[in-house]
């Protein structure tokens, strides 16, 4: 029974991760990233989080932090837009 619950939770986590990925793609698209550059922009976004916030594990990624990261990408990677 416990194994079944763990498996269900793992499936839910995977589904949520896919939804978050889709939402990040949508956010970057509406920020102006060209569709053909979305995959590269997501990779840069994930790398930029550490760059902008100095690997600070204590900082939470709220709306303001997401905006900061996207604006950083706009300044440093204009070819994506």
Predicted confidence pLDDT, tens digits, the chain (81 residues) = 888 899 999 999 999 999 999 999 999 999 999 999 999 999 999 999 988 887 655 668 899 999 999 999 999 999 999
Among 15, 12, 38, 16, which Cα is nearest to 27's? 38
The per-residue pLDDT for 2 is 83
Three-state secondary-structure class, residue 70: helix
pTM: 0.84
């Amino acid at each position: 029974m416990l194994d079944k619950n763990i498996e269900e939770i793992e499936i839910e986590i995977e589904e949520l991760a896919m939804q978050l990925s889709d939402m990040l793609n949508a956010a970057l698209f509406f920020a102006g990233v060209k569709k053909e550059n979305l995959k590269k922009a997501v990779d840069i976004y994930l790398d930029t989080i550490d760059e902008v916030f100095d690997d600070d594990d204590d900082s939470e990624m709220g709306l303001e932090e997401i905006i900061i990261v996207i604006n950083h990408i706009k300044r440093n990677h204009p070819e994506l837009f």
